[in-house]
Each structure stands twice: as structure tokens, then as C-alpha cells.
Amino acid sequence: MGNKRRGAAPNPEWVLMYRKGIGRRKIAELAGAAPATVGYHLGVARTLHPGLEVEHEAAAGSKPAQPTVQGRQRMQQLLAMVQETGRYPSRTAPDASERKLATWLQRRRSDARAGTLAPAFRDGLAVLPGWQDAPRALADEARWQDRLAALAAYRVAGQDWPRHKATVTGEEHELGIWLHTQRYKLRRGELDPAKAQALDAEAPGWRAGRQRGRKSKKAVPGASD
């Protein structure tokens, strides 16, 4: 039997089985699906129905998993680091303690996808929006926000819209390439509406950019007022 496609999440049959106390792996076995796929569907279902986990545990007659003292300490260390630095730990960091936190967080992400995350961890980590996202996605979002701030500062300084031509160098070229990409995505309907709104707010007029035939702001020798 073929695996269920993730796009149809959540699968109502799998949710019903889970609600009756059947575990993820057993559901996967009965449905002929990959455990990871079932875990994804159940994760979507728990987001839509917060009480689903409690119903499952009650039906299964099992008690929620209790984190160890060390696990709770790791969670508190993670919360403190993210709130202080604004970023998540890296497994390639030079600091050994940060690498341990990164490994711990990776395991909790895996538990969340599999539907086996301890409720104490689920509730504690909920204060970090997007903590289950892949590190690359988080880094990309932070980089996008940095580019937006740089563009806004560039415009406030009195500069015209940055160009992306090969003959342009430095900050203008970098911002020009980035802005060109945002306009391209907008035309194709691929730009996140929230990002388009952020650009509208921080850089009004970004959609149109430079006006054709517009004179440079730099003074021209011999020109009169």
C-alpha cells in the first residue's frame, strides 16, 4: 500500500485511531504508511485540536512522559540563550555547551515531528515562536529582516533605489540584487504577503523603484537652479 501524501493532513482516520489511544507506529503499520508521515499528520491535528494529546493519553491509559531534571535544565538554558541572543544554538559552535544545547533541541524537534514530545517540553518551548522550524529557515528569515532594515536605512540616508546592475558595487549592489528578487517574487505571486506589507511599511515605493529618466541627485557641474 502506498504512503499517504502529506498535503492531505490531517488524515481523519489516523486522527480517530490516535484519539482512541493507538500509537503512531501502530497506526503507520495498520495504514501501510511511513511513521514520519503519520507523525506529521498527527502533529497538524494536535495544532488544530490542542486537547487531542490528552484524549490519546487517556484512551491509551498511559501517563505523560516526565522529563528528567537534566532535560528541564537544558530547556531553561535554551530559553535563556534564545531570549538573550535572539538566535538558536548551533551544532558547529566553538562552545561545547552551545553544541550540547543544539543537539538537545534537534532531538526535541524530532520528538515533536514524531508526536512523542513530552507535554512539559511542549508547553515550555511554546514561548519560542517557530522553535520547531529548521535552522536554515530561521537563518533565512533573520537575513531577510536584516536586508529590509539595511534598505530602509539606505533610503532614509537620502539614496535613490539601489541598482542591481553588474557595474554597481558595494552595498548598493547587494541591496539592489535583494530588492530585485523581492520584486520578481511579487510579480510571480511568490512573495509572502507579510513580507510585502513589511516592505510597504519600511520602504514605501519599493514596488515601482526608480522612475525612468529620473535625474541623479548628485549635483551637475555648471547646472543652474
pTM for this structure? 0.42
Residue 218 pLDDT exceeds 70: no
SS (H, E, C) 95-146: CHHHHHHHHHHHHHHHHHHHCCCCHHHHHHHCCCCCCCCCHHHHHHHHHHHH
pLDDT at 213: 54
pLDDT at 64: 52
In DSSP notation, the chain reads -PPPPGGGPSPHHHHHHHHTT--HHHHHHHHT--HHHHHHHHHHHHHH-TTHHHHHHHHHT-PPPPPPHHHHHHHHHHHHHHHHHSS---TT-SSHHHHHHHHHHHHHHHHHHHT---HHHHHHHTTSTTTTS-HHHHHHHHHHHHHHHHHHHHHHTT--PPP--TT--HHHHHHHHHHHHHHHHHHTT-S-HHHHHHHHHHSTTTTT-SPTTPPPSS--TT---
pLDDT, averaged across the chain: 82
Which residue is associated with the grid cell 536554515?
Answer: 136
For the record, the C-alpha cell of 89 comes out as 544554538
* Nearest partner of 17 among 5, 2, 6, 29, judged by Cα: 29
Containing structural domain, residue 28: 6-60
Query: pLDDT of 2-54, one tens digit each?
Result: 444 445 678 889 989 988 888 888 898 888 888 888 888 888 888 888 778 77
The winner for highest mean pLDDT among 16-20, 63-67, 133-137 is 16-20
CA 87/CA 78 separation, integer angstroms = 10
Q: Which residue, 97, 125, 153, sits at the end of a domain?
A: 125
Weakest mean pLDDT among 39-43, 99-103, 134-138: 134-138
Weakest mean pLDDT among 19-23, 67-71, 184-188, 221-225: 221-225
CB 33 within 8 A of CB 6: no
Residue 222 pLDDT exceeds 60: no
172 assigned to some structural domain? yes
Query: pLDDT of 69-93, one tens digit each?
Result: 899 999 999 999 988 887 888 877 7
94 assigned to some structural domain? yes
* Measured CA distances, 179 to 5, 29, 44, 185 (Å): 36, 49, 34, 10
197 assigned to some structural domain? yes
CA 34/CA 169 separation, integer angstroms = 50
210 assigned to some structural domain? no
82 assigned to some structural domain? yes
Q: Which pLDDT band holds residue 128 (cuts at 50, 70, 90)? A: confident
209 assigned to some structural domain? no
140 and 191, same structural domain? yes
76 and 19, same structural domain? no
19 and 51, same structural domain? yes
207 assigned to some structural domain? no
Domains held by the chain: number? 3
Percent of the chain whose predicted confidence (pLDDT) is above 70: 85
pLDDT at 95: 87
77 and 39, same structural domain? no
